[in-house]
């Protein structure tokens, strides 16, 4: 592997992020912001795949997977705090190919997820009847332009605004929970008629295969929380703040996701929720009437949840693309930063691709399938990275130790492998096409970019130090 980089000071000087912009509270807010849109829309599509029982099992399994994985990432991010995050962890543990594969899988996930969220934002705005909009593409355009623009101003400003928007969304979830509790009816959870599928019954109307298909939507309750470590180079004290932030985030998401999963179909019925584009406001309208002020409030505030995730995942894809480009795995010009230390091109180019996907595909469920495929592939590699580093480098200076060690991330690894398979059950064409894009990216690395790696990039330096130390033993 060759290094064709210019002088280190010149090259890295044009690729600087804003150091020390975030503490653990902002990191926890970032973790919740990544995911909170999953509570407002998208998860309910899993009811049509597995029924309420199937989606509940999927939620519990994926909640276990994410909790175990997050504990592993807390250790990795406190040990190798770089903007490459997942790519950096896998680069150290699995070598250049493993690092690039992980980074590309994450990039697919984070580039497509905002497009899916944009379609849900359009659905919420249409349900409110705002501006007389019946075609949502102008909404997608405005969302991408405004929020990419804010990120270009600076990460400190962006993270603080994200925190405020996320707080509004959390308040809306609290209002929804309080409003739905008096109307909960356990019978409405199992109102979908059983099919002829193997193992089908009132609790699992689509049988065992329905549980597997619902895993994709169980993931949507947590998708992208693993992106918190992408802010490592912009964190005041990553060894201390990263573990705190990401663990607090997953704790909040487990509670909010379970509340929504129980109360929305438990009040309005699983069947109607399985077809809704704005499930939380629709659930409130079902129990309080179409003119419900409570539903209207949650609808408006629910937009904040969708915007929070849209806004924050833009941050995530830009940092992953920035790191891969800075190290030479992708074209280097993508990692150039502005005078405000923001990677403008890494913000704009995936955003353009996402806008095109949102306007042409116009199917949030399909875009979820694509994003989840990239996510699950990266989860396999991330958990494997934690296990490999525990075995190969037990003396590595770690700021946090994962409870349960390799056993914890091994549980997550097994569930991640099952989740990859599940994406093919939901939509074999979407998963196959995404796999094709992933393979093409690996071919680009193998035949071109691996010969042009910049060894002075932080993620590469971590790996080089490890290789040098291993030769001295």
Any idea where the domains of the chain sit in the sequence? Answer: 21-455
Is 80 exceeded by the pLDDT of residue 127?
no
Beta-carbon count within 10 A of 472 CB: 5
**Helix (H/G/I), strand (E/B), else coil: 263:** helix
Cα distance between residue 273 and residue 282, in whole Å: 8
Average pLDDT, the chain: 87
Determine contact, residues 353/144, Cβ cutoff 8 Å. Answer: no
And the tokens for 47? Answer: 């009811």
Cα distance between residue 172 and residue 369, in whole Å: 27
pLDDT band at 461 (very low <50, low <70, confident <90, very high): low
Q: Where is average pLDDT lowest: 90-104, 222-236, 352-366?
A: 222-236
Could you tell me where the DSSP H helices lie in 327-363? 344-361
**Helix (H/G/I), strand (E/B), else coil: 22:** strand
Determine contact, residues 313/116, Cβ cutoff 8 Å. Answer: no
* Exposure on the CB side of residue 106, measured as CA atoms within 13 A: 37
**Helix (H/G/I), strand (E/B), else coil: 235:** strand
* Unique residue bearing structure tokens 């405004």: 146
Cα distance between residue 288 and residue 272, in whole Å: 15
The whole-number average pLDDT for the span 241-252 is: 92
* Unique residue bearing structure tokens 């994962």: 402
pLDDT band at 125 (very low <50, low <70, confident <90, very high): confident
Q: Is the dihedral of CA 423, 428, 430, 432 positive or negative?
A: positive
**Helix (H/G/I), strand (E/B), else coil: 461:** helix
Is 60 exceeded by the pLDDT of residue 297?
yes
Please give the pLDDT value at position 452: 86
If one looks up domain 21-455 in CATH, what number appears? 1.20.1740.10
Please give the pLDDT value at position 448: 93
Q: pTM surpassing 0.85?
A: yes
Could you tell me where the DSSP H helices lie in 275-405? 279-288, 293-326, 344-361, 364-392
pLDDT band at 181 (very low <50, low <70, confident <90, very high): very high
Please give the pLDDT value at position 121: 85
The whole-number average pLDDT for the span 78-98 is: 86
DSSP category for residue 339:
T
């Amino acid at each position: 592997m060759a290094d064709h980089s210019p002088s280190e000071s010149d090259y890295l000087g044009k690729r600087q992020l804003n150091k020390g912009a975030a503490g653990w509270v902002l990191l926890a807010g970032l973790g919740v912001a990544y995911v909170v849109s999953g509570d407002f829309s998208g998860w309910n599509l899993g009811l049509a795949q597995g029924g309420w029982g199937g989606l509940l099992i999927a939620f519990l399994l994926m909640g276990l997977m994410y909790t175990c994985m997050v504990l592993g990432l807390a250790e990795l991010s406190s040990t190798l705090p770089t903007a490459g995050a997942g790519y950096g962890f896998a680069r150290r543990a699995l070598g250049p190919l493993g690092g690039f594969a992980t980074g590309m899988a994450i990039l697919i996930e984070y580039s497509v997820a905002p497009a899916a969220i944009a379609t849900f934002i359009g659905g919420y705005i249409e349900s409110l009847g705002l501006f007389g909009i019946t075609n949502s593409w102008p909404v997608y355009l405005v969302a991408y332009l405004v929020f990419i623009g804010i990120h270009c101003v600076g990460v400190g400003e962006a993270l603080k605004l994200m925190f405020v928007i996320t707080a509004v969304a959390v308040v809306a979830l609290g209002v929804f929970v309080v409003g739905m509790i008096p109307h909960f009816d356990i019978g409405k959870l199992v109102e979908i008629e059983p099919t002829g599928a193997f193992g089908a019954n009132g609790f699992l109307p689509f049988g065992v295969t329905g549980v597997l298909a619902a895993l994709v939507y169980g993931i949507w309750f947590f998708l992208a929380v693993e992106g918190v470590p992408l802010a490592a180079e912009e964190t005041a004290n990553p060894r201390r703040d990263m573990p705190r932030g990401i663990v607090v985030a997953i704790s909040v998401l487990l509670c909010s996701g379970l509340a929504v999963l129980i109360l929305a179909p438990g009040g309005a019925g699983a069947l109607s929720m399985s077809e809704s584009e704005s499930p939380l406001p629709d659930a409130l309208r079902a129990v309080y009437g179409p003119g419900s002020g409570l539903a209207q409030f949650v609808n408006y505030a629910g937009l904040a949840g969708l915007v929070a995730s849209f806004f924050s995942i833009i941050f995530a894809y830009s940092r992953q693309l920035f790191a891969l480009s800075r190290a030479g795995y992708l074209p280097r010009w993508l990692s150039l930063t502005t005078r405000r230390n923001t990677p403008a091109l890494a913000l704009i180019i995936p955003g353009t691709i996402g806008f095109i996907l949102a306007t042409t595909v116009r199917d949030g469920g399909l875009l979820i399938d694509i994003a989840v495929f990239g996510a699950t592939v990266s989860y396999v590699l991330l958990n494997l990275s934690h296990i490999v580093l525990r075995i190969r480098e037990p003396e590595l200076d770690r700021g946090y130790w994962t409870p349960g060690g390799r056993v914890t991330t091994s549980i997550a690894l097994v569930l991640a492998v099952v989740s990859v398979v599940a994406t093919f059950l939901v939509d074999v064409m979407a998963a196959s096409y995404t796999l094709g894009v992933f393979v093409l990216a690996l071919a680009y690395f193998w035949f071109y970019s691996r010969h042009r790696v910049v060894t002075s990039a932080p993620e590469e330096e971590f790996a080089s130090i490890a290789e040098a130390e291993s030769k001295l033993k």
